[in-house]
Amino acid sequence: MSNVSNANILWFLPTHGDGRYLGTSEGGREVNFNYLRQIAQAADQLGYYGVLIPTGRSCEDSWIVASAVAPFTERLRYLVAVRPGLQSPSVAARMTATLDRVTNGRLLVNVVTGGDPIENKGDGIYLSHAERYEVTREFLTVYNDLLEGKAVNFSGKHIRIEDGRLLFAPVQAPRPPLFFGGSSDAGIDVAVDTVDKYLTWGEPPAQVAEKIAKVRAVADGRGRKLSFGIRLHVIVRETNAEAWAAADDLIKHVTDETIASAQKIFARMDSVGQQRMLQLHGGRRDKLEISPNLWAGVGLVRGGAGTALVGDPDTVAARIREYQDLGIDTFILSGYPHLEEAYRFAELVFPRLALDRPSNISRLRANTGPFGETIANEQLPLRRASQS
C-alpha cells in the first residue's frame, strides 16, 4: 500500500436516467424517487462517504432530491450543486445552511458554473466563459462570508448586496466543504481563492498529475492549500476479461449516428474540461483504452465524466492507488446500473483500499450474517481471504 492518505469514496445518484446500456432505451430503467432512495440507502449501508447529485436541465433538481432522500439514510453525505448566475448568493447560503441543519451536517457543496451556452440561454444566462467565472468569484465571496456569519455589503461587476445576513448557521463550521471542477485558467484562478477541494474528470494519470501541479503552484503562491478529487466511472468484475467484456457490452447498442449526434452537442460547449474529455477519444470507437485500464467509451455519448476504470478488483484498486499517489484523496464513482454497481464495487474493491471512514456496517462475521446462504441447512459458509 502506498504511503498516501486514506480515500473517501462517493457514489452517484443518476437523476438523468439509468440502465444497462448506453445510448439506447434497451434495458432502460425508470429513475423515480423509490429507485433513487434505494441507491442512496445501499450507498449508506455499504459505507460510501457520500453521493454526488448531478445538475442541469437533463437532471431532476439536486436540492429537492437530496432533501427528499436524506431522511432515509443515516451517515451518507450529499454533494449538491450551487449555480452562480442562476441563484442569488444570499438565497443559496440560506438553502445551504438549511439543508446542512436538517441533515445534521451531511451536506457537501459542488460549485458549477455551467459549460453549455445553449443550456445557459435556456436558463436565462447570456454570459461568456470569462464572465461566468467573474460571476462565480463574486458569488462565492458573498456566499462564503454569509455562511461564516458575516454581515455582507458587496458591490461588484455582476452582484450587489446590501446588509446581507444569515440568521441560522450551518452545522458544519465554518461552512460545508466546497467542491469545484474547472480546467481552464479562469476556473483554476477562482478555485484556489474560494474552495476546499478541486475536482478533475478521469483523465490519464499523467494529465491529472500535470493539472494538480498547476493548481498547487497557483495555490502555493497565494498561501492556500486545496485537496483533490476525481470523477470516474467503474467497471469491475471478477476477472479482467469479464470487465472488458462488460465495457464492450455497455456500448453495444450505441450507433455511429448516436455518437455523431452526441459529439456535435459536446463540441458546442465552452467548457475546457469537456473539450479535454473529447480529445481523449475523438469520437472514435477503436482507441478507447487511453491509458492502462482507463476506458473512454462512456464519453462517446455521455457529457461530463466520460472515462471508466476497467478491470478485476486488484487492478482497479491499483489504478486508484496510482491516483492517490498523485494527491487525489476523493473518488466520485458511478457504474451502470447504479444500484447493482454500488454493491459490486463496494464488495469487490473496498476491502482492497484504505478508506478514510469505516464502513457504516459491521464487518462480516460467521455468526452474525448476512454471510451467504447456509450450506445444507447446517454449515455456515467460510469467508475466503482476499488475494491482495
Strand bridging mode 227-236 / 197-201: parallel
Contact 259, 231 (CB under 8 A): no
Residue 214 pLDDT exceeds 80: yes
Domains in the chain, ordered, with CATH? 8-352 (3.20.20.30)
Residue 69 pLDDT exceeds 90: yes
CA distances 69 to 102, 153, 171, 343, Å, are: 12, 35, 19, 19
Amino acid sitting at position 112: V
Q: What is the pLDDT of residues 283-300, one digit of tens each?
A: 566 678 889 999 999 988
Residue 282 pLDDT exceeds 80: no
Nearest of 109, 262, 228, 90 to residue 177 by alpha carbon:
109
Rounded mean pLDDT of 160-164? 97
Quote the mean pLDDT of the chain.
88
Question: Helix count (H) and strand count (E) of the chain?
Answer: 12, 15
Q: Residue 239 and residue 334: Cα distance in Å, rounded?
A: 19
Residue 378 pLDDT exceeds 90: no
- The kind and range of the H/E element at 343 are helix 338-349
Q: Convert 40-68 to b/e letters by CB count within 10 Å (16 or more is b).
A: bbbbbbbbbbbbbbbbbeebbebbebbbe
Q: Quick one: pLDDT at residue 366?
A: 45
Nearest of 329, 319, 323 to residue 225 by alpha carbon:
329
* Residues in the chain, total: 388
DSSP letter at 373 equals: P
Q: Quick one: pLDDT at residue 147?
A: 98
Q: Quick one: pLDDT at residue 215?
A: 96
Q: Residue 250 and residue 266: Cα distance in Å, rounded?
A: 20
Q: Quick one: pLDDT at residue 388?
A: 42
- The verdict on whether omega for the bond into residue 370 sits within 30 degrees of 0, i.e. cis, is yes
Rounded mean pLDDT of 160-188? 94
Residue 256 pLDDT exceeds 90: no
> Quick one: pLDDT band at residue 44, thresholds 50, 70, 90?
very high
Q: Quick one: pLDDT at residue 360?
A: 45
Residue 359 pLDDT exceeds 50: no
Q: What is the pLDDT of residues 310-331, one digit of tens each?
A: 999 999 999 999 999 999 999 9
Q: Which residues touch 378 (CB under 8 Å, ≥6 apart)?
A: none
